[in-house]
Amino acid sequence: MKLAFVLFKYFPFGGLQRDMVRIAEACRQRGHEIHVFTLSWEGERPPGFHVHVLPIRRLTNHSRYGAFHVQLKGYFDKLGIDRVIGFNKLPGLDFYFAADPCLRDKLMRERSALTRLLPRYRHFLAWESAVFGRASKTRILLISPRQEKIHRSYYGTQTERLFMLSPGIQKDRMAGPDASELRSGLRREFGIGEEEKLVLCIGSGFRTKGLDRSLKALAALPEPLRSKTRLIAIGSDNAVPFLRLARKLGVEARFQVLKGRDDIPRFLQGGDLLLHPAYNENSGMVILEAIVAGLPVLVTGVCGYAFYVDRADAGRVIPEPFSQELFDRYLAEMLESPEREQWRENGVRFGQREDLYSMAHRAADIILS
């Protein structure tokens, strides 16, 4: 078959983008023709993929996406596309990979009724309804039990259209026999002594991922713990507001931002704690990556994969509503906790016994069935 994979923007270190490539590659390996449609593409193009970048310009994002959607049908007809798999919410999809949180829920909780009447939000709410509403025929590939409940509560989505996937992290995130070598090499490269603590924040979209919360917690650490703790954030985003916040908090010397990169396993072994205090997070793949690497984690309960932290007993979860004071206290306690080695061992064992790796193949099964 000819399969169309659709997403608004591709960049190599986005979680949604990596999932798209893995699922498309699983379909390609079974003999199907892969076409990717997007508004922008950064980085290398996967071998065997036909990538179509549509150069559409409009004054607003929602009008640009609308024009993109209109043009897609012409391409699909011309190429004879058999099935359309969307990684953003669009009308007319055969399948939707549900990586984004429920917009209606977010607006109901955080914004006024007047906000929901703005053209931007009316547009995106209509498209969300076109995927999850009862009149839709789109089959939905879910990655978070929490989001299934939320979407069904707002849209009454029929059970037969919902397919829950297992996570799909890469097995190179697991702690291997070279774990100690990776750790010492990473810490030498960045000048981090063994007596120092390395805290990591990994993921593009620093604002959504709660990097401001992590910086405030770093600043709140008591001396001398703060003076021997380093925070490194890794992701594709504008670092300037957070560097400015670090200066304001007096921790700029203990903070560093790196662009997205492909040697994350080194950091997972070299670090002492992963912070992921997200404001919104449908899943949180990096949470699982840290767990199986043996890196203890401190996350917010809003993350779709936060329940894995408790299931693996590999760290702590901050309950909602979020408390910065509690988060600050947990960070200080976890950095010096005698449970650290136990959390590491629990996470490594969890990664060896649980199916956390088959998402792409399971998604391909559903798309091709």
221 near 229, Cβ under 8 Å? yes
Query: Which amino acid belongs to residue 153?
Result: S
- How far apart CA 203 and CA 237 sit, in angstroms, is 9
Q: In whole angstroms, what is the distance from residue 324 CA to residue 123 CA? A: 34
Cα gap 361→23, rounded to integer Å: 7
Residues facing residue 230 across a β-bridge: 198
- Give me the domains of the chain, ranges plus CATH numbers: 2-168+357-368 (3.40.50.2000), 171-353 (3.40.50.2000)
Nearest Cα to 93, choosing from 121, 130, 56, 129? 130
pLDDT value for 356: 96
Does residue 333 or residue 146 have the better pLDDT? 333
Closest CA to 306 of 147, 165, 110: 147
Per-residue pLDDT tens over the stretch 274-299: 999 999 998 999 999 999 999 999 99
Among residues of the chain, what percentage have pLDDT more than 70? 100
- pLDDT reported for residue 182: 97
User: Which pair of structure tokens corresponds to residue 257?
Assistant: 């931002």
Say whether pLDDT at 113 is over 90. no
Distance CA 364, CA 369 (A): 8
Size (the chain), residues:
369
Question: Could you check whether the bond before residue 224 is cis, i.e. omega within 30 degrees of 0?
Answer: yes
pLDDT confidence of residue 110: 87
Cα first-last separation, the chain? 11
Structure tokens at 164: 């829950």
With CA atoms as reference, report the closest residue to 287 among 317, 332, 248, 259: 317
